[in-house]
Structure 1
């Protein structure tokens, strides 16, 4: 089946929401997305627990999927199991992608108390809660289905009943992704627009704002460059998504490429510089070892995810089938 219609609809929604001028103006969308995330995660966890209770046993094994298991893309071989394990590292690394927007969020926090103190508490709580949810959903999903566990418990036809609950959960997924798209893209939008404004300060297309009255909203500041650039960006990502509708594989690739440089290397390098940590000291060596280990994880995850995309492309026809 083709999922292009859903992707196009999602892209149209993102074109509209992308015209929100500033990051701090999407706070309501971020809260809504967070609520939706808790909703579908709780549904998935609850259904997983219910399935385990129905089976009266835990499926799967500590070593993961068994060699010889038949999947949508063929029989799992020893080599493919290695690729899958490497790809899983990329999927886990993608969970750290929140780090790239921490500074943007911190800039929107009021003080006192100091922004970094509030952010530290919020980050600690957020990471703890999401870690618990990730582990519970992943473990209960695998315990419920074992080697036949789908890549996505709610949309991968792991569960079929109750229909109404699955509909609510999948609706929550859509709303969550609409908001998450904006949370991650708004900082990029702002960076490009500020750079262009500094580069061409006298260009009316780039810097001019036009006031437009919008019913039930008030006055909207229209910028032609913002309208064109953000629309082109969303259209481009939508087309790429239609070309490569492999959720887990693409998430693994994105996680692999973004994890080490953005989450590990630059923060560690800045920390060393800020604290004036002496070169070759025990702390310096420990931080460098951590950075190198995460680099190896990123490289391994990237290789595994790319191998997964190659396998998917063998059974996929562009713009005609979904995975």
Structure 2
């Protein structure tokens, strides 16, 4: 969309969707100097203002002109839950009524934010609450960015890291995810280091290959959950066509191209992927690779036949992986006393 298209339309444009060049063009059309564009962008991306009147160093006349032509998009908070461990989960609504979840996880003087890249998900993973709620649409880059800013404002602190590990498959929304990552990384935006920005994928192979060619040092995590094909097909039906052999090959390409260590996410499900055969298959899959295994205790979803594994099994996985030279850790579960799993809060409010 050009600014001229916007001008000829009676419908206001979301200011957040304008590129820097389009905003400069708008300033010139309105008769203001180019530097005003940078001032407006600072208010939008660094201060996350929801009202043009909050732009205190911008002339009142320009604020009025912008208000007449543009909106500021943004989000409204539908629900907010606070855990005893300090984590906070949010259900946010966008201007078209679409809703998505995000989480803030404070640790000492740092704040990690987990964001959604889609409203709902098509992948159908049987252990995930999001997949049970269906798919609405992919989120725009600005909508992903707004989740981080909302959490930061609520905690009154800057986000130090972001993981795209909430609702949705990020690589099914690749272009907007990359835009969001660059906005979060940019000094003109959130200013978060690239290595502190992580994308988690179920294993969409063409996009892993494409991601390995991006110039920034963004971090990659892959939801593996089983290294036995039949088990993975059963619990992650959305990636059946992306076989384990192809995934193993492309991850080798990724490491060779980037030199970065990827993470494999492995949610331990009692009686499903935590037996000895699954453990040995995981050892074989990761042996000799530059990878870290993140073992996760499955969220105990209401009405689900799938239950978490035991702490003893998790510790056995760590020891056995270490024997084959693979580093593994057990991720501390956050927000156990609230609707911590992706999609739980959305489902509760839909009901």
Where on the TM-score scale, by shorter chain, does this alignment land: which range? under 0.3
Q: Which has the higher contact order (CA 8 A, sep 6+)?
A: 1
Q: TM-score, normalised by structure 2?
A: 0.24
Structure (1/2) with the larger helix percentage: 1
Q: TM-score, normalised by structure 1?
A: 0.26
Structure (1/2) with the larger strand percentage: 2
